[in-house]
Amino acid sequence: MNRKLYILNGSNLNMLGVREPHIYGSTTLKDIEQNCLTLADALKFDGVFRQTNSESQLIDWIQEAFLNDAALVINPAGFSFGRIPVLDAVKLVRRPVVEVHISNIHRRSEEYRQSTISVAATAVICGAGANGYLLAIRAVDDLWGGQAEG
């Protein structure tokens, strides 16, 4: 049986490739989704990839990941900053949680530097561009103990 992996994306990430390409690059979220699901499958994960602009929807999906005993790769985007309800949901997840940011949030203006979600994450990857998602999936695999047998 494959392990479950939720790859969840927060606000405005549906606009990747168009929104501030000087910060986020030209890769679209659809490109990221295809690359993530291909790697997840190769590492024997049942991958779920989603994006929302709604904080309540993101919380529902994090809770779903918890109920399905899934690991979590999350780019909370704007929900990273001061969003206690998202943090509380992330704290539920028992499997590895890797937070991803396409840009290096520590090199940005002050309001983007401190992610509330990071305190509950197993690991944080920022500044690696769209490739950060693939690094995060590999980190989840390592943190979970390597590829599932079978």
Please, what sign has the CA dihedral across residues 48, 58, 119, 70?
negative
φ/ψ of residue 139, rounded to 5: -65, -45
Largest Cα separation within the chain, whole Å, is 47
Mean pLDDT in residue range 100-111 = 76
Lowest mean pLDDT among 8-12, 41-45, 114-118, 128-132: 114-118
Active site residue 24: yes
How far apart CA 36 and CA 24 sit, in angstroms, is 17
Q: What does the pLDDT read at residue 150?
A: 38
* 41 known member of a binding site: no
* DSSP secondary structure of 23-76: HH-S--HHHHHHHHHHHHHHTTEEEEEEE-S-HHHHHHHHHHHHHTT-EEEEEE
Q: Is residue 149 included in any domain, yes or no?
A: no
Catalytic residue, from 101, 106, 112, 133: name it. 101
Structural domain total, the chain: 1
Please, what sign has the CA dihedral across residues 12, 18, 24, 26?
positive
* 69 known member of a binding site: no
Q: Is residue 45 included in any domain, yes or no?
A: yes
Q: Is residue 123 included in any domain, yes or no?
A: yes
* 109 known member of a binding site: no
Q: Is residue 132 included in any domain, yes or no?
A: yes
Mean pLDDT in residue range 30-45 = 97
Q: What is the pLDDT of residues 128-140, one digit of tens each?
A: 999 999 999 999 9
Q: What is the pLDDT of residues 108-135, one digit of tens each?
A: 656 555 788 989 999 999 999 999 999 9
Domain range for residue 137? 3-144
Q: What does the pLDDT read at residue 10?
A: 95
CATH code of the domain containing 134? 3.40.50.9100
Q: What does the pLDDT read at residue 145?
A: 85
Mean pLDDT in residue range 76-96 = 91
pLDDT at 149 over 50: no
Active site residue 22: no
Angle between helices 131-144 and 29-42 (to 10 degrees): 30
pTM passes above 0.85 = yes
Q: Is residue 150 included in any domain, yes or no?
A: no
3 state DSSP class of 135? helix
